[in-house]
Amino acid sequence: MNIIYQLLSEHLVSGQLKAGNKIAIKIDQTLTQDSTGTMVYLQLEEMGIDRIKTDLSLAYCDHQLLQQGFENMDDHLYLQSVTAKYGIVFSKPGNGICHQLHLERFAKPGCSLLGSDSHTPNAGGIGALAIGAGGLDVACAMAGEPFNLIVPKVIKVELINKLQPGVSAKDIILHLLQLLKVTGNVNTAIEYSGEGVKKLSVTQRATITNMGTELGVTTSIFPSSAALWSNV
């Protein structure tokens, strides 16, 4: 069984783990950003819960930073108050980009992460099952509801040797985009393997999984290993 199916199996709530089937999985962590998060928390308030049901949820302010008018500031003040109400961690404007901060500080290998940011799969660089989704799905996950998805077809990409001089991790994903194109990859996931994986740092792996979004796949993932942490 591949890593993605192993993690789906560990979080499976209902359905049969077979490509193309509808399943529901438990979500451990969520993230939002201030462009989509305001609506997420308005929806969460309508659900009438007292506290979030996830292990950890975070609200990042990293998109709406221009303060020429009152609108962005009002959103940030609302996000600060609503996160305190529900037990959600609030990341104030200027702290950094949501998917990168989450990778560095909160994501864990093997955890399931749902985010209202399209580049949530960045956390696949450390072996998290990280998926971008719509705001209502994220709100429901925080309320303790399972996330519904189609079991993806998994494409394994084997990396061998190491990056040559002048070649970056981004070149790997750009080459994959050239091969697979940007359409036709719905309900597909990418799993990276091979000896070449050990030669890539966390940052390099995350660069690759982050741009899986441009492929249109459900998620992308690297295996977690001791070699990963030695390359941080």
Domains of the chain and any CATH numbers: 12-150 (3.30.499.10), 153-224 (3.40.1060.10)
In the predicted model, is pLDDT for residue 199 greater than 90? yes
In the predicted model, is pLDDT for residue 155 greater than 60? yes
Mean pLDDT confidence for 8-18: 98
Kindly state the tokens that stand for 79: 């996000």
Per-residue pLDDT at 30: 98
Beta bridge partners of 221: 191
Span 61-109, pLDDT tens digits: 998 877 776 778 899 999 999 999 999 999 999 899 999 999 999 999 9
Which spans in the chain are helix H?
Answer: 3-10, 37-46, 71-86, 98-105, 135-142, 169-180, 202-210, 212-215, 226-230
Give the Cα separation of 99 and 111 in Å (integer): 15
Per-residue pLDDT at 76: 92
Average pLDDT of the chain is 93
Query: Nearest 5°: phi and psi at 121?
Result: -60, -5
Q: Tell whether the torsion through CA atoms of 40, 46, 50 and 54 is positive or negative.
A: negative
Per-residue pLDDT at 226: 56
Beta bridge partners of 153: 188
In the predicted model, is pLDDT for residue 232 greater than 80? no
Give the global pTM.
0.93
Mean pLDDT confidence for 108-113: 97
Mean pLDDT confidence for 21-25: 98
